[in-house]
Chains A and B, each alone.
Chain A
Amino acid sequence: MNRNPSNTDMTASRVEAVRNPVRAAFWRGARDGAPFLLVVTPFSLLFGVMAAESGLTLTQAMGFNFIVVAGASQFIAVSLMADDAPALVVMATALAVNLRMAMYSAALVPHLGAAPLWQRALIAYMNTDQTYTVSVLEYEKRPEMPLAEKVTYFVGAAAPVLAAWYAFALVGVLVGASIPPAFALDFALPITFVALITPMLRTLAHVAAAVTSIVVALSLTWVPSGLGLLIAAACAMVVGALFETWSERRR
């Protein structure tokens, strides 16, 4: 009876989009967020492994994943804790790494600022490198999207990412010790970040910002960890904005 399932699916999703566009936006978000599973899964697994190896209990490791929900800062916190750094240094450095999210938060204001407070509070919890990137891309592509759809799109994009973030950390803690170091899981993190960022180098201004970030960060390695990165990021943002202004004038 159902000779052409793909065709039926398309029709079904089109009907859904007309009948309930808000729910359709959730699934569109989930579909666009799903590719990040390939990024988040090894990342989360790696965090679980690292947390267990540094001596955190299962509950503590999962506490990081549910309460902090920010990969890079969790890695930094746990590696500093493994080195017995003072608790204040651990907290300050992890928070410094997450300061970039203030900028994500600000970047969402033009798109989601008019949503009810409880929705903005929920979105704030889900605001990560991945969900921010994929959603802002979509909002810029389709500025006419109604607010309610923008909100469910964001939640949809976050759903697979967060589910994997919780689940695979658990797996990581449980299997931790049995993954041999030969797998070089330590390098999943840098490769993932390189792969995330290079497609964003669309203009000369983006390239200039990235180069500035690298040069300043490398020359400030003597600054307490985290702080050098903040200075590098601030310089790089200014350079990016200046290049943009400059290339507009030349046109």
Chain B
Amino acid sequence: MIYSTIEIWVIILVIGAGTYLIRFSFLGLIGKRTMSPLVLRLLRYTPVAVIPGMVAPLVLWPAATGGQPDLARSAAALVALALGLATRNTLMAMAGGAVTLYSMLYLVG
């Protein structure tokens, strides 16, 4: 790491302050005023709009394997996806993904 101690703290404080302002934005500044139905309709899709796009590259090109697609990791993600869809249960999907990952890593290496 090339940063001085001060630079590291500036990075932490700027990300922290910026993130807090983002979190505070609507809730803090808009308060009681109502929001348009169109905005609310868009907001309903926030999690499903952000998280899949963030995860897909991590699954296809894992950093741990130098960006090369990896059988164990792809299988684990697929199992988590299938279990999540079938059971609608986050913990079940996580457990299935973890078991798959470790068994595949043990079997395939």
Residues of A at the B interface (CB closer than 8 Å) are: 35, 38-39, 54-56, 60, 63-64, 67-70, 72-73, 77, 79, 81-82, 84, 87, 90-91, 94-95, 97-110, 112-114, 117, 120-121, 123-125, 127, 129, 133, 181-182, 184, 186-201, 205-206, 209-214, 216-218, 221, 228-229, 232-241, 244-245
Contacts and interface: CB of A to CB of B under 8 A. Distances in A.
Contacts of B43: 103, 106-107, 237
Contacts of B49: 209-210, 212-213, 232-237, 240
Interface centre among B13, B31, B42, B43 (most CB of A within 10 A): B43
Contacts, number: 286
A125 B24 CA distance: 8
Given A67-B16, A69-B19, A90-B15, 9 more contacts: A63-B12, A68-B16, A81-B8, A102-B25, A190-B73, A191-B101, A196-B47, A213-B48, A240-B42
Given A199-B89, A201-B48, A214-B52, A106 B26 contact: yes
A221 B53 CA distance: 10
What are the 10 A-B residue pairs with the smallest beta carbon separation, nearest first? Answer: A198-B84, A217-B53, A240-B45, A67-B16, A236-B49, A195-B93, A191-B97, A213-B53, A106-B26, A232-B53
A187 B72 CA distance: 10
Given A91-B15, A214-B52, A117 B28 contact: yes
Interface residues of B, number: 77
A101 B22 CA distance: 6
B8 A67 contact: no
Main secondary structure of the interface of B (DSSP, over half): helix
A68 B19 contact: yes
Interface centre among A39, A188, A193, A232 (most CB of B within 10 A): A193
Interface in B1-45: 1-3, 7-16, 18-20, 22-28, 30-35, 38-45
A105 B22 contact: yes
Contacts of A81: 1, 3, 8, 11
A133 B47 CA distance: 9
A94 B57 CA distance: 17
Contacts of B2: 84
Main secondary structure of the interface of A (DSSP, over half): helix
A245 B67 CA distance: 39
B98 A191 contact: yes
Nearest to A240: B45
B58 interface: yes
A189 B51 CA distance: 11
Contacts of A234: 49
A198 B93 contact: yes
Contact of B40 (A90, A100, A110, A201): A110
A183 B19 CA distance: 31
A244 B22 contact: no
Given A187-B64, A229-B53, A241-B41, A91 B11 contact: yes
B27 A124 contact: yes
B30 A109 contact: yes
B107 interface: no
A216 B11 CA distance: 29
A205 to B, nearest CB: 7
